[in-house]
């Protein structure tokens, strides 16, 4: 299988779509980023064990958790490694969360490791690991934080 710069661009695009979908509350767009099941590890933020979860359930959970918050996900510093039909993308991310009603914020500075699989010509996320550098603000506004 030939790997091209086009594969790297497509991987970056799916990571950007993932981040933007949260901010736009584009839940079908978020789901389109994933394989049917994904492995997640948010133990640094949530204190929960890694799990395999259906993409639909992942999206529904985020939709519920973030319904009262405005968010802004910024990502960059992509390091992409491709091995055949599998890839990883390591990226830095800042996630701003705002509860306008309470006038409170909660911001996470993190490093993500995305595992991806090429299905036909599209790259899909099949694994997410979040490593938190630090948090700022009031974590109680985000139902997903410990």
DSSP states along 5-61: HHHHHHHHHHHHHHHHHHHHT-HHHHHTTEEEEEEEE-HHHH----EEEEHHHHHHH
CA distance 88 to 66: 26
* Residue 143 banded pLDDT, cuts 50, 70, 90: confident
10 in a structural domain:
yes
Q: Determine the structural domain holding residue 12 and report its residue range.
A: 5-141
62 in a structural domain:
yes
65 in a structural domain:
yes
Q: What is the pLDDT of residue 3?
A: 57
Q: What is the pLDDT of residue 1?
A: 47
Q: What is the pLDDT of residue 2?
A: 54
How many domains, in total, are found in the chain?
Answer: 1
The CATH number given to whatever domain includes residue 125 is 3.10.450.50
Read off the pLDDT of residues 65-120 as tens digits, 9 standing for 90 and up: 999 999 999 999 999 999 999 999 999 999 999 999 999 999 999 999 999 999 99
146 in a structural domain:
no
Three-state SS at 104: strand
What's the mean pLDDT in 15-30?
Answer: 98
Q: What is the pLDDT of residue 28?
A: 98
Which pTM value belongs to this model? 0.94
CB 16 within 8 Å of CB 30: no
DSSP category for residue 64: H
**Gap between the terminal Cα atoms of the chain:** 43
């Amino acid at each position: 299988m030939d790997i091209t710069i086009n594969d790297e661009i497509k991987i970056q695009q799916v990571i950007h779509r993932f981040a933007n979908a949260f901010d736009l509350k584009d839940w079908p767009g978020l789901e389109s980023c994933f394989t049917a099941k994904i492995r997640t590890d948010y133990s640094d933020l949530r204190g929960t064990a890694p799990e395999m979860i259906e993409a639909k359930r992942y999206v529904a959970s985020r939709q519920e958790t973030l319904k009262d918050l405005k968010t802004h996900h910024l990502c960059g510093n992509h390091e992409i490694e491709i091995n055949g039909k599998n890839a990883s993308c390591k990226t830095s991310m800042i996630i701003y969360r705002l509860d306008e009603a309470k006038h409170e914020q909660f911001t996470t500075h993190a490093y993500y490791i995305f595992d991806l699989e090429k299905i036909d010509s599209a790259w899909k996320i099949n694994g997410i690991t979040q490593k938190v550098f630090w948090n700022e603000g009031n974590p109680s506004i985000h139902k997903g934080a410990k």
